Amino acid sequence: MNTYAPALIFICIAAVLLAGCTSPSSTPVVEVTPTIPPTTPLPAVPVDDQTCTIDSDCVPAQCCHPTGCVRQAAKPDCTAALCTMSCEGPLDCGAGSCGCTNGRCSVIQAQPTTPSLITKTSVTLTASPQRYSPIMSSTPGIGITVDANGFDAARSRFAWNATYGKFYSWGPVNYTVDEIGNTAINHGEKLYWSFTEQPASTIEPVIITVTATDTTTGRLLGSSNIVLQWDGNNAVMLRDTR
């Protein structure tokens, strides 16, 4: 027998064992942290661009994902705007709408579509003075205040209607009397009613109706009337509130 054979076999076995114990060197993993560019805050809306009288005076302040509301005269030119389909701002995807609150255009947050509890709601009207004539200089008309019972007036739509005469707004925004018309839409802010011409007949009373609805569901929240009786040809008296 060849004396070198056992030694050769031993060397081969050792080589196989050593080869199995070795492993290729691993490449170190370098973690890369993504860099997020800082966001540029949108400029604040000037106060002069927010003045309003009714909801229709107000529009979104920006073309894409607006964050506020401005009056119609200050609306941006969006003819060349390209916006993404994501819902980001307080007005996107039905999250809110533009409206006139206390004389300023603002975002009106939408109410939940399914209220957790339906409570009894109603509308109460208060009118002053009890007798009014356009020749009176102390007031621009009969001031009508709305009380919302059981619901949030700022998140509701109030529809005003008068069978004769017109509604006017007057308040601390600019202290000027602004004519609205015989119908109006707002969030329950105080309005004034007056007339400039004598009616063709003083037999029929003037009926003022204010109806409140939920802006999201359209649910009727309440309605109330004021009945004005003619006192001669140039004055009215408060006859009833119901």
- Domains of the chain by residue range: 47-109, 122-241
Which of 3.80.10, 1.10.10, 2.60.40, 1.10.8 is the CATH number of 122-241? 2.60.40
Query: What is the residue-level pLDDT of the chain in tens, covering all 242 positions?
Result: 455 555 555 565 655 555 554 444 555 555 655 554 555 555 667 878 899 999 999 999 999 999 999 999 999 999 888 898 888 889 988 889 999 999 999 999 887 765 555 679 999 999 999 999 999 989 999 999 999 999 999 999 999 999 999 999 987 767 789 999 999 999 999 999 999 988 888 999 999 999 999 999 999 999 999 999 999 989 999 998 88
Q: Are 210 and 160 in contact (CB under 8 A)?
A: yes
CA nearest neighbour of 157 among 207, 92, 223: 223
Torsion angle of alpha carbons 101, 105, 107, 110, nearest 10°? 50
pTM (two decimals): 0.54
